[in-house]
Amino acid sequence: MLKNYRFLTSGESHGKCLTGIIEGVPAGFNINTEEINNELQKRQQGYGRGKRMQIEFDTVEIKSGVRFGKTTAAPICLEIQNKDHENWKEILSIHSRDKNDQKSFTAPRPGHADFAGKMKYNFEDLRDVLERASARKTAMNVAIGSVAKQILKEFKITSEVEILSVLGQKDYEHEIEKVREMGDSLGGKFKIIYKNVPIGLGSYVQWDRKLDGIIAQAVMSVPAVKSVEIGLGCEYEKHLGSQVHDELYFDGQYHHKTNNAGGIEGGMSNGEDIVISATMKPIPTIKKSLNTVDLKDNSQCEAHFERSDICAVEACAVIADNMIACVILDEFLDKFGKDNIDEIKKNYEQKA
């Protein structure tokens, strides 16, 4: 979907590594690897993560597209190792076997990709679904988003992330501990604000160019996100039009009296902060048994449990923030040019 800042990722949860290829990073930009690693650490932290996060310590290696510290406009290849792979070499082997001696996992876990993924791709072992469906792959999305954030920062476009609630509570650590003891899991709601976004990113002229639509897709792509709101979002239905539309004023520069639209009108940024909130469903891997069907013989059974996070809403917010950065940068490059960073700066100074 992205036109200028395009990327693909590969990698399984317990495979050797995660890889990302970004195309569209302007030439002449100095990528700060430490900043990428800081963002990766933010994704790994947060209250409620499981034991896997004690195994991994995500750091990125830039494998191509940079020379003497500066981007060359060539595709940039990024790699993050999965430390846990050492323990999964046999189970995740890429080599063919005469006989598969690995025990198949055949009872889909409700809420996961297991059931629909098996039906779609016709696998015997649900591990072939869950390894790629796993949220592990979002580490690479964060690395790619972090490069986008660094470029946006050159233009003073920055973001803030806030956790709004977990199980309806603002102060949620205690809730998470209670739920951990119950063998259950939690989701939550978070808010992301993008500041200093220039007027006119996105467009109303076609459905797939609307900035709010593209942002919603980017945030919905984060595993377990089930709702995305812009500005007042779901609250709009409680108000009259005259109460919620943001009145425009001019006092040397344009500004709106309020920002209920969350910085987007007609699918375009309007110069106010872009305000996005989203809801994550509870983690689907839970100790408490959930009913399912064993697909090998269609018998009723209880869903399989592997170690898991209890609540990953803080990680989810970090991933969403980085995905939004990719979208905003993509639109920014559309408006201000994309070949080299000096040219983009000149265009920005003239137009913004």
* DSSP tag of 137: G
- Residue 193 pairs in a beta bridge with 160, 275
Min dist. Cβ of residue 322 to ligand EPS (A): 13
Toward ligand EPS, which CB reaches closer, 32 or 308?
308
If you search the block for the tokens 């102060």, which residue do you land on? 171
Query: Rounded to the nearest whole angstrom, what is the least distance from the CB of residue 45 to ligand EPS in the complex?
Result: 11
> Please, which residue, 157 or 317, has the CB nearer to ligand EPS?
317
CA 178 to chain CA mean position, Å:
27
Binding site for ligand EPS (CB under 6 A): 13, 50, 52, 56, 84, 134-136, 139, 285, 306-309
CB 5 within 8 A of CB 13: no
One-letter amino acid of 59: T
* Residue 30, number of CB atoms within 10 A of its CB: 12
Q: Which is nearer to ligand EPS, 304 or 338 (CB)?
A: 304
* Cβ-based nearer residue to ligand EPS, 13 or 146: 13
> Nearest approach, Cβ of 288 to ligand EPS (angstroms)?
16
CB of 223 to ligand EPS, least distance (A): 6
CA 11/CA 17 separation, integer angstroms:
6
**CB-wise, 195 or 281, nearer to ligand EPS?**
281
> Residue 201's Cα: distance from chain center in Å?
20
- Of the pair 135, 197, the CB lying nearest ligand EPS is at 135
**Residue 198, phi-psi category: left (phi > 0), alpha (psi -120 to 50), beta (remainder):** beta
Which of 12/212 has CB closer to ligand EPS?
12
CB 269 within 8 A of CB 254: no
How far apart, in whole angstroms, are the C-alpha atoms of residue 43 and residue 38?
A: 9
Closest-by-Cβ residue to ligand EPS is: 52
Letter string b/e over residues 92-118, b meaning 16 or more CB atoms within 10 A of that residue's CB = beeeeeeeeeeeebbbbbebbbbbebb
Rounded to a whole number of angstroms, the minimum distance from the CB of residue 199 to ligand EPS is 36
Q: Judged by CB, which is closer to ligand EPS: 44, or 260?
A: 44
State the nearest-atom distance from the C-beta of 50 to ligand EPS, in Å.
5
Output helix, strand, coil percentages for the chain, rounded to the nearest 5. Answer: 35, 20, 45
**Phi-psi category of residue 283: left, alpha or beta, with phi > 0 → left and psi -120 to 50 → alpha:** beta
Nearest residue (CB) to ligand EPS, 136 versus 304: 136
H-type alpha helices, the chain: 33-44, 52-55, 114-121, 127-133, 138-153, 173-182, 211-220, 241-244, 313-336, 341-351
Kindly state the smallest distance separating residue 180's Cβ from ligand EPS, in Å.
14
Calpha distance 147→6 (Å, rounded): 12
Q: How far is the CB of 308 from ligand EPS (least distance, A)?
A: 6
Distance of closest approach, residue 43 Cβ to ligand EPS, in angstroms: 7
